[in-house]
Amino acid sequence: MKRSFDFVIKFANVNGSGSASANLLFAKSLFRMGLGVVPKNIFPSNIQGLPTWYEVRVTQAGRTARRDGVDIMVAMNAQTYSQDIAEITAGGYLMYDSSLPRPFSRKDITILGMPIARMCAEVYERPRERQLFKNVVYVGALTALLDMDFDVVKQAVYDRFDGKDHLIGPNIKALEMGREYALKNFDCPLPIRVKPGKGDKDRIMVTGNEAAALGCVYAGATVAAWYPITPSTSLAEAFERHAKRLRVDKDGKRQVAVIQAEDELAAIGMVIGAGWNGVRAFTSTSGPGISLMSEFMGLAYFAEVPLVLFDVQRGGPSTGMPTRTQQSDITTCAYASHGDTKQVLLFPADPKECFDLTVEAFDLAERLQTPVIVMSDLDIGMNEWVTKPLEWDDARAHDRGKVMDAEMLDRVEYFGRYWDVDGDGIPYRTLPGTHPSKGAFFTRGSSHDNFATYTEDGEVNAENLDRLTRKFATAANFMPKPVIRKSGRSSKLGIINFGSTEPAVREACELLAREGYKLNTMRLRAFPFGKQVTRFADQHERIFVVEQNRDAQMRSLLMTEAGIPGEKLVPVLNYDGMPLTAEWVKNQIEAVIETDKSVAAAMQLSMRAM
């Protein structure tokens, strides 16, 4: 096999066997060597005993997309041998535990058998240790096979177990055992190997949920209420972990309250109560939780209470695929709740943006006095991504929106909670307890007039709904702008995408460009859509809308809310639950370009224009 520095290695494990920690060690070491690393955890909705995989694409620095094909399979789970072996690309490698040697039918791959269980049994006493260190032994072997910098790997162990020093020795021992075995028994290094990169040393490796949690800390959120649900759980837990450390007052008391609620209904109820009372509050959930929260989402929209909601999307419908990724809550979130309800959505594309857009979300929620939903997904939320470091500008002021304090109330003759004084659809609010005789109002989900008083006057209610429409139009001006990349300048073909599809789309564009297809891209970052979105649509004849759901939900939203004609928007849909690969995106687009005459015509148009 010819040398390759861009390859995919996949670990097939049994969940609950301690493999996650060893696999992360492997990925982190490569990251520290300056390489591009794209780890994806493909795990079951289960605690122990079922198959789980960890896939790592090793590539040049800067790439963050998955790649098709498996070049090296580390098969540690006998239950899935046949499917794992079938997945290996011709010319690839299979590493397996040969404590019980077995025959393999494939002749087009190289078998690397290592008696891992036996090696561990000889060295470790306790059954749990024998199990756990099997994972570290194969990482050790890989350091030799792939020509990894062993000092970097060892340092990663020291850092990982800092403070639990008694674990360092046995881990290093396991690494060395594997490495020595490989050096002695295999032809090291393999043609597939790492080439130490000059990758940006400044980069970090982090999950989107952790970054979003830090965004909540930096945004000044003090109340979080949540109900455990994969894949959003780690967001709330990370927030609690960081906040407990960073939010301690001079008396040792906490400037934060995190409540694990009895269900998602209560979780968002608490967040609404807290937001109404003047703190920044959030909840995090996934699809099923969104369904449960919908009634309250309508209340928060109509009563105009700020809150931030994270939807870390997973496979639907219903319970769906709780441990797989999708972007299939777009429609339900954009219109969350009954009646004429519209919600503000933000679409982060990586962990760095999870941090930035989270901070933005809290400002927007208070400025607009409405819920803001951060539409993350399992891929961004739970997988480790190599990304730019998180940044904070100490000069950045938090925008708390239009809140009248006692002094302001004293200056006005009277106060109307829903009175559009500024003409932008955003009224002024007051917090409970502010003034002895002014500014009190009755927050309600029933139809109300400018003074928050209940009304059954249809015209008054319609006026209020119209004001909310004005507010939503104002919101569009505040939204983070889409990111537009013009590779073909005057190309008439475009791509619209959002969220975690970005790495695959970006790489696919490079692949397409190599074949002569130059496409401009626009990555959406928010709903409501701004002027840039319609302008981009106007500038292009055909636009591929890449998204991870069956029903082309974003395409529909673009048609309905941005008025883009449907025939212009070509759906490119994936809903198998896996993060996209560049090849897949490229193949889909190429197939349309080559078969669809109207697209081909647009292509011709672009070529001529260039």
Partner 1 sequence: MTYMKKPSVRHPDLPKNELGLTRRDYEGLVSTLCAGCGHDSISAAIIEACFELDLPAHRLAKLSGIGCSSKTPTYFLNRSHGFNSVHGRMPSIATGANLANRDLIYLGVSGDGDTASIGLGQFCHAVRRRINMVYIVENNGTYGLTKGQFSATNDKVSQSKKGEANLFEAFDLCTLAIQLGAGFVGRGFSGDKGQLVPLIKAALRYNGFAFLDIISPCVTFNDHEASTKSYGYVRAHNEAMDRLDFVPKLQEITAQYEEGETTSVPMHDGSMMRLHKLDKDYDPRDADNALAILRKRYERGQVVTGLLYVDDDEADLHELLNTTKEPMNAVPMSELCPGSGELEKINKDFR
Residues found near partner 1 in the complex (CB under 8 A): 32, 203-206, 214, 217-220, 222-223, 225, 242, 246-247, 249, 251, 253-257, 259, 261-263, 265-279, 281, 295-296, 299, 389-394, 397-398, 430-437, 440-446, 454
> Judged by CB, which is closer to partner 1: 82, or 277?
277
- CA 285 – CA 269 distance, rounded (Å): 13
Three-state SS letters, 198-211: CCCCCCEEEEHHHH
Closest CA to 396 of 185, 218, 154: 218
Q: Which is nearer to partner 1, 66 or 203 (CB)?
A: 203
Alpha-carbon distance of 319 to 1, in angstroms, equals: 44
CA 9 to chain centroid, in Å, comes to: 22
- Separation of alpha carbons 306 and 418, rounded Å: 14
**What's the min distance (Å) between Cβ of 323 and partner 1?**
23
**Residue 294: its H or E element:** helix 287-303
Instruction: Considering the complex, state which of residue 228 and residue 389 has its C-beta at the smaller distance from partner 1.
Output: 389
Task: CB nearer to partner 1: give 14 or 271.
Answer: 271
Find where tokens 């790592």 sit: 56
CB 219 within 8 A of CB 398: yes
Q: Give the C-alpha separation, 39 to 435, whole Å.
A: 54
Alpha carbon distance 445, 272 (integer Å)? 12
410 alpha-carbon distance from chain centroid: 46
Place of tokens 């082309």: 552
> What phi and psi, each to the nearest 5 degrees, are found at residue 114?
-140, 125
Is the Cβ of residue 95 or residue 281 nearer to partner 1 in the bound state? 281
Q: Which residue's CB is nearer to partner 1, number 271 or number 557?
A: 271
Nearest to 93 by CA among 63, 67, 114, 77: 114
Which residue in 277, 434, 284, 267 sits closest to 374, CA to CA? 284
The CA–CA distances, whole Å, from 123 to 113, 142, 233, 291, 318 equal 19, 20, 37, 52, 47
Minimum CB–partner distance for residue 462 and partner 1 (Å): 21
Pairing of strands 520-524, 493-498: parallel
**Shorter beta-carbon distance to partner 1: residue 108 or 393:** 393
Kindly state the smallest distance separating residue 150's Cβ from partner 1, in Å.
19
CB of 447 to partner 1, least distance (A): 12
DSSP designation for 66 = B
Q: How far is the CB of 74 from partner 1 (least distance, A)?
A: 25
Shortest distance in whole angstroms from residue 418 CB to partner 1: 15
Distance of closest approach, residue 413 Cβ to partner 1, in angstroms = 15
- Report the DSSP beta bridge partners of residue 40: 55
Nearer to partner 1, 113 or 220 (CB): 220
Q: For residue 12, give the 3-state DSSP assignment.
A: strand
In the complex, minimum distance from the CB of residue 357 to partner 1, in angstroms, rounded to a whole number: 16
Q: How far is the CB of 365 from partner 1 (least distance, A)?
A: 14
- 395: Cβ–Cβ under 8 A, 6 or more apart, which residues? none
Give the separation between CA 54 and CA 486, rounded to whole angstroms.
35
Alpha carbons within 13 A on the beta-carbon side of 597: 0
CB of 240 to partner 1, least distance (A): 11
Query: Please, what is the minimum distance in Å from the beta carbon of residue 384 to partner 1?
Result: 9
